[in-house]
């Protein structure tokens, strides 16, 4: 009877918490206890581990078994503790000996009752942590290999069962690495963009939003193409850089939304479109394990909220912090998690409950108080965080009948967005114009004298808040970048003012 220790780690947000799995097999009445502030899934590992050991051909010791997950004051969750617990029992009971060559090997994975290794959530976070702290190899379920392969310069050992893990430790098994999956699907985003007819000003607004990472609100009657514009905006966004791909994949790994057959290297920027009946927790994040919500799963991509006034007010108001800071903190009784949430918000709304206010196609049937109540569902602080506000008119029948291909326009816009993003990030220290901090506005958003005069006249006509002023300059900075202008011109300011105060005109 002895004590065995295996290094491990837990997932907190998209960060790792170092954990030591201590297993003590002692004389006494048979029992199996897991301590160390484990959640229900970890406590249930007792039955999974017991059955897996038996069905793998080993003897489960009829002894007093105590498993301690240190540190004891931090909540532990996840299935990936199963494998180190099972190996710890075999080592402590004398059925297995691990050589010195595996002292820098991390063991991760859940167990089925028959001893097979189960795919676990958040393993990419743990593999990245293992590399940073000096582990040389990571043993993990075969189903997690595709995501873990994003981390280079560390040996990955994908296995299918507890038996294979033991044979690997004894030098009797060398796993065959799965071939990387590479798939090329249809460009659905491009198809959406190419279906847009007319709406030249709206497409210009989408170009600015994509180039600068600006939030966009489209208002117009039903059938004007607002949803198509929002979906088509994805086509303008450049592919994910490696660092962005790693962030996005970690978030989806923690959320458990990665499919085992998914080709990680061809992942595109996220486009999340939750329905207005989606719960507050599902959009913001939370639950017992403080999982990421739609806000975080949209990181580095687009969060599309169709019919924004129909969303519960608590959901809309929850957007305030992530829209401002690019991250969200989720606090629960047992833990606090920080998730990145730097997304482009694209929202749509009708001008009134029936949707036909101001339309030349159909008369509005709404009473003034109904219109006022409908528009008040979107609070002033949320509107103040919208960079580009645009009224989208109805599309004429002549425009709908057009069959002209806009592929050349799409190619030109894509090239322009990529070029503008590269130049602005180089100037801004790695961030897009929409993410420039207030302290850097004056240095990065210099205006000409004519542009300053236009701003002064606008301040006399409109109510410009401090945040609104900064948003205005950021949009104008992107417009100037699209035109290869070093300073913000009066034309750029004038266009930005149109997008900023469209609702007041």
Q: What is the DSSP string of 345-391?
A: EEEEE-SSSSS-TT-SSS-----HHHHHHHHTTS-HHHHHT-SEEEE
How is residue 364 written in tokens? 């509005």
Same domain, 449 and 385: no
Is 242 within the bounds of a domain?
A: yes
The reply to whether 422 and 455 lie within a common domain is no
Identify the H or E element spanning 84.
helix 82-92
CATH assignment of the domain containing 505:
1.10.8
Q: Which residues contact 50 (CB under 8 A, 6 or more apart)?
A: 32, 60
- The domain boundary, picked from 427, 457, 491, lies at 427
* Neighbour order of strands in the sheet with 137-141: 105-107, 137-141, 155-159
Domain of residue 273, CATH code: 3.40.50.300
Q: Give yes or no: residues 476 and 497 share one domain.
A: yes
Indicate whether 177 belongs to any domain.
Answer: no
Domain that holds residue 162: 3-169
- For residues 476 and 45, what is the distance between their CA atoms, to the nearest angstrom? 56
In contact, 363 and 175? CB cutoff 8 Å = no
DSSP 46: H
Kindly state whether residues 271 and 358 are assigned to the same domain: yes
Do both 8 and 142 map to the same domain?
yes
Q: Based on the domain organization, do 377 and 450 belong to the same domain?
A: no
Radius of gyration over alpha carbons of the chain, in Å?
A: 27
Residues 270 and 367 in one domain: yes
Residues 121, 200, single domain; the answer is no
Instruction: Please indicate, yes or no, if residue 180 is contained in any of the structural domains.
Output: no
Q: Domains in the chain: how many in total?
A: 3
Show pLDDT as tens, one digit a residue, over the chain (505 residues).
Answer: 589 999 999 999 899 999 999 999 999 899 999 999 999 989 999 999 999 999 999 999 999 999 999 999 888 999 999 999 999 999 999 999 988 889 999 999 999 999 999 999 999 999 999 999 999 999 999 999 989 999 999 999 999 999 999 999 999 998 888 766 555 545 677 888 988 888 889 999 999 999 999 999 999 999 888 999 999 999 999 999 999 999 999 999 999 888 766 666 667 899 999 999 999 999 999 887 788 999 999 999 999 999 999 999 999 999 999 999 999 998 876 678 899 999 999 999 999 999 999 888 889 999 999 999 999 999 989 999 999 999 999 887 777 777 666 789 999 999 999 999 999 999 999 999 999 999 999 999 999 999 999 999 998 888 888 899 999 999 999 999 999 999 999 999 999 999 987 655 4
Burial class, 270, CB count within 10 angstroms (exposed 0-12 / middle 13-18 / buried 19+): buried
The CA distance from 469 to 463, in Å, is: 10
Q: Do 395 and 197 contact (CB within 8 A), yes or no?
A: yes
Residues 57 and 193 in one domain: no
**Residue partners of 405: CB distance under 8 A and separation at least 6:** 194
Q: Are residues 440 and 423 in the same domain?
A: no
| Predicted TM-score (pTM) of this structure | 0.91
What's the CATH number where 95 sits?
3.30.230.10
The rounded Cα 9 to chain-centroid distance in angstroms is 22
């Amino acid at each position: 009877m002895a004590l065995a220790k295996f290094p491990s780690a837990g997932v907190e947000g998209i960060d790792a918490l170092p954990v030591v799995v201590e297993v003590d097999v002692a004389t006494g009445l048979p029992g199996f206890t897991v301590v160390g502030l484990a959640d229900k899934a970890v406590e249930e590992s007792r039955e999974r581990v017991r059955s897996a050991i038996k069905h793998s051909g080993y003897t489960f010791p009829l002894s007093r078994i105590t498993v301690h997950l240190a540190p004891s004051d931090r909540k532990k969750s996840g299935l990936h503790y199963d494998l180190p617990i099972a190996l710890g029992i075999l080592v402590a009971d004398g059925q297995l000996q691990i050589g010195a060559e595996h002292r820098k090997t991390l063991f991760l994975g859940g167990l089925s009752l028959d001893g097979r290794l189960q795919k676990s959530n958040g393993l990419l976070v743990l593999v990245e942590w293992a590399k940073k702290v000096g582990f040389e190899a990571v043993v993990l379920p075969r189903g997690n290999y595709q995501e873990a392969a994003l981390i280079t310069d560390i040996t990955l050992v994908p296995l299918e069962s507890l038996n294979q893990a033991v044979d690997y430790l004894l030098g009797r098994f060398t796993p065959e690495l799965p071939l990387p999956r590479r798939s090329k699907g249809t460009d659905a985003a491009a198809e959406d963009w190419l279906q847009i007819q007319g709406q030249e000003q709206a497409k210009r607004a989408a170009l600015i939003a994509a180039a600068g990472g600006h939030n966009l609100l489209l208002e117009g009657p039903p059938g004007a193409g607002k949803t198509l514009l929002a979906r088509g905006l994805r086509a303008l966004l450049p592919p994910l850089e490696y660092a962005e791909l790693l962030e996005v994949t970690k978030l989806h790994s923690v959320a458990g939304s990665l499919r085992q057959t998914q080709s990680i290297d061809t992942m595109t920027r996220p486009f999340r479109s939750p329905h207005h009946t989606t719960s507050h927790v599902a959009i913001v994040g939370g639950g017992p394990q403080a999982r990421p919500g739609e806000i975080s799963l949209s990181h580095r991509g687009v969060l599309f909220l169709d019919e924004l006034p129909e969303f519960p007010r608590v959901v809309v108001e929850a957007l305030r912090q992530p829209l401002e800071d690019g991250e969200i903190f989720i606090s629960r009784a047992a833990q606090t998690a920080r998730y990145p949430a730097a997304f482009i918000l694209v929202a749509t709304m009708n001008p009134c409950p029936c949707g036909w206010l101001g339309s030349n196609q159909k008369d509005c049937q709404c009473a003034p108080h109904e219109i006022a109540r409908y528009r008040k569902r979107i609070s002033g602080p949320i509107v103040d965080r919208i960079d580009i506000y645009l009224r989208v008119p109805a599309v004429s029948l002549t425009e709908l009948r057009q069959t002209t291909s806009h592929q050349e326009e799409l190619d030109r816009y894509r090239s322009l967005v990529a070029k503008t993003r590269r130049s602005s990030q180089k100037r801004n220290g790695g961030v897009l114009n929409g993410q420039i901090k207030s302290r850097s506005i004056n240095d990065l958003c210099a205006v000409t004298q004519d542009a300053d005069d236009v701003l002064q006249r606008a301040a006399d006509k409109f109510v410009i808040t401090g945040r609104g002023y900064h948003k205005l300059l950021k949009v104008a900075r992107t417009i100037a970048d699209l035109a290869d202008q070093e300073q913000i011109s009066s034309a750029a300011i004038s266009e930005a003012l149109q997008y900023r105060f469209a609702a007041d005109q």
